[in-house]
Amino acid sequence: MRLFELLLLLSNIGLFALTVVLKNGRRRIPVFVASGAATLLLLIHWTVEGYRVQLFFPYCLTILFLAVTGYRYFKKNGQMRIPRFLVGSAYTAIAIMLVGTAGLMYAFPVFKLPEPTGEFKVGTQTFHFVDTNRKEIFDETRDGKRELMVQVWYPAQAGIGKYAPLVPDPQILRYMAADYGLPGFTFQHLKYVFSHAYSGDEVSSAQTSYPLILANPGNGSSRFLHTSHAENLASHGYIVAVIDHTYNTFATEFPDGRITTSTTNDLFSPDQDYRTSRGIRDKLGKVLTEDVAFVLDQFELIQSGKIPSHLKGRMDLGHVGVFGHSIGGATAYDASYDPRIAVGVDLDGGLYRLRDREGLRKPFLFINSESYFEQLKRVMDNRVYTDAELIRMGSTREWEDQVTEDKKLELERMRETVDEGGQVLYIENTEHLNFADVQFVSPIFNMLGITGKIAPERANSVINAYILDFFDMYLKNQGGILMKGPDSRFPEVKFVILSLR
């Protein structure tokens, strides 16, 4: 909550209290002075912090108080008598508006992202890549090639000027709201949230090169919702590129002003049988995996100078990692079959294309939510859903039996990566969206069970610590302490022993 918007709300509460408490004849001057002070706070708030729709009522109340008290202060004749029931109704309406505003400010705060924990300042740059070898298949109205927006965070040299905004363009926020079934203005407050990165700064000269990590958001997400993960890794000496997988994000804006929205959900229908749905997900996953390979191709061209960038020659392409959330985590796993990628991390994502390949013979880290672990544990324990559970879930036994078969294969894939030096973990009291920065957007998500009981800041710090330790271990030949087993600093992290009974 920002200072001047808080003071504005408190000034409105004070104005209301003065109006109610003071008798009619004694309130003229104090309320007029207080309304003038509230108006000054309003102007400062608009100038310094910027307006937002959640404070619409205080804006109106401040102006109304100033107009009414100003009129009464300069009016020469006696006080106007207003029927008591109208006064009571007005007081009730104002009280409701003030309480509602406080609730909106709590529900949609202008928050601060956790600060990166490394020693490097962080810079950021965005790239537009076009794959001339692939046709775009997710938009039938266009006969174009596959285009991607990729944002890079990296260790910066100076770190001067203003921080870059969290959201690349506020226009896309209305699509984010629509994705949650909310009015378009709901998330407009995010345009006032800033990252901890500087736009376009030079790469730090502290090292000759830095390992490259490619990252993938989940379905209907966005690259900016992994800013805290990317910034933290960059502050510890990594170059991190987060890919907006076009048409799988809620919105992606291109340099010419075009905005694409999510269409991949349209591929799925509740009437599809399980095999059809799985096949569609595998086809979608194949495109996402190809995106990662293509982006890695582009960074090889940047490294050699064929694509102009101050990242030229600064990437250690002999040490490349990948991570992602949800289907982006599955993408990280599938992309790791590329021999150029050494290791990867899957944040709470069920795998795809399980039957298309042999097991991945590389170290890989799986960090799951507690709820997803419970699904896997049910499979490991060979527990069968009761008829009542199936009815409550709105599912069928045939569907869940096929899910179980896929999860058994997924568990086998996990076990194979553990044999290569990976790990499978879960974090207590987490849900699926605790693995992206959307968990900071509203505490309402926690109340609705969309995120877990764990505090967002704590979830973020735990996830960042384990991602960093894993990449340090395999991309920098250091760290790896957290991979050895339970740590008293992170009691909510549980190591999973994979077995099928």
Task: Report how far residue 376's alpha carbon sits from residue 56's, in angstroms, rounded to the nearest whole number.
Answer: 46
H or E segment to which residue 467 belongs: helix 456-475
pLDDT at 40: 94
**Hey, what are 117's tokens?**
């924990």
Strand partners, 251: 261
**Hey, what are 215's tokens?**
């990252």
Tokens 């896997």 -> residue: 376
Closest residue by Cα to residue 214 from 129, 120, 157: 129
DSSP code for 81: P
Tokens 């600060």 -> residue: 115
Mention every residue, 6+ apart, whose C-beta is less than 8 A from residue 385.
393, 395, 397, 400
Mention every residue, 6+ apart, whose C-beta is less than 8 A from residue 108.
54, 186, 187, 189, 441, 442
Task: Report how far residue 446's alpha carbon sits from residue 427's, in angstroms, rounded to the nearest whole number.
Answer: 16
H or E segment to which residue 423 belongs: strand 423-427
Task: Report how far residue 305's alpha carbon sits from residue 303's, in angstroms, rounded to the nearest whole number.
Answer: 6
What count of other Cβ atoms lies within 10 Å of the Cβ of residue 3? 12
Strand partners, 316: 211
Q: For 400-418, b where at least 16 C-beta lie within 10 A, e where not — what string? A: bebbbebbbebbebbbbbb
Map residue 256 onto helix, strand or coil.
Answer: coil
pLDDT at 436: 98
Mention every residue, 6+ apart, whose C-beta is less than 8 A from residue 171.
251, 253, 259
Closest residue by Cα to residue 224 from 201, 253, 266, 204: 253
Q: Is the CA virtual torsion 335, 407, 467, 114 positive or negative?
A: positive
What count of other Cβ atoms lies within 10 Å of the Cβ of residue 244? 27
Q: Is 93 exposed, middle or buried (0-12, 13-18, 19+ CB in 10 A)?
A: exposed
Task: Report how far residue 73's alpha carbon sits from residue 76's, in angstroms, rounded to the nearest whole number.
Answer: 8
Cα-Cα-Cα-Cα torsion 476, 481, 485, 487, nearest 10 degrees, comes to: -140
CB-based contact 319:337 (threshold 8 Å): no
Residue ranges of the chain assigned to CATH 3.40.50.1820: 121-495
**Hey, what are 359's tokens?**
């097991």
Cα-Cα-Cα-Cα torsion 107, 112, 113, 114, nearest 10 degrees, comes to: -110
Map residue 139 onto helix, strand or coil.
Answer: coil
pLDDT tens string, the chain, 501 residues long: the values are 789 999 999 999 998 888 887 766 566 677 788 888 999 999 999 999 998 999 999 999 999 888 877 776 676 555 556 677 776 888 899 999 999 999 999 999 999 999 999 999 999 999 999 999 999 999 866 678 999 999 999 999 987 788 999 998 999 999 999 998 889 999 999 999 999 999 989 999 999 999 999 999 999 999 999 999 999 999 999 999 999 999 999 999 999 999 999 999 888 877 788 999 999 999 999 999 999 999 999 999 999 999 999 999 999 999 999 999 999 999 999 999 999 999 999 999 999 999 888 889 999 999 999 999 999 999 999 988 899 989 998 899 999 999 999 999 999 999 999 999 999 999 999 999 999 999 999 999 988 888 999 999 999 999 999 999 999 999 999 989 999 999 999 999 999 998 765
Please work out, in degrees rounded to the nearest 5, the angle formed at the alpha carbon of residue 299 by the alpha carbons of 293 and 302: 150
Strand partners, 211: 316
**Hey, what are 495's tokens?**
């190591």
Strand partners, 147: 130
Give the CATH superfamily of 121-495.
Answer: Alpha/Beta hydrolase fold, catalytic domain (3.40.50.1820)
Chain center to CA of 20? 44
Tokens 């209301």 -> residue: 16
**Hey, what are 329's tokens?**
């985590």
Cα-Cα-Cα-Cα torsion 295, 204, 162, 241, nearest 10 degrees, comes to: 20
Helix residue ranges, H only, 305-394: 327-335, 370-380, 387-393
Task: Report the DSSP pairing between strands 210-216 and 239-244.
Answer: parallel
- DSSP codes joined into one string, 2-58: -HHHHHHHHHHHHHHHHHHHS-TTTSHHHHHHHHHHHHHHHHHIIIII---GGGHHH
Task: Report how far residue 286's alpha carbon sits from residue 210's, in angstroms, rounded to the nearest whole number.
Answer: 28
Closest residue by Cα to residue 236 from 424, 434, 475: 475
Tokens 């990628």 -> residue: 341
Strand partners, 369: 427
Cα-Cα-Cα-Cα torsion 353, 357, 360, 365, nearest 10 degrees, comes to: 0
CB-based contact 8:98 (threshold 8 Å): no
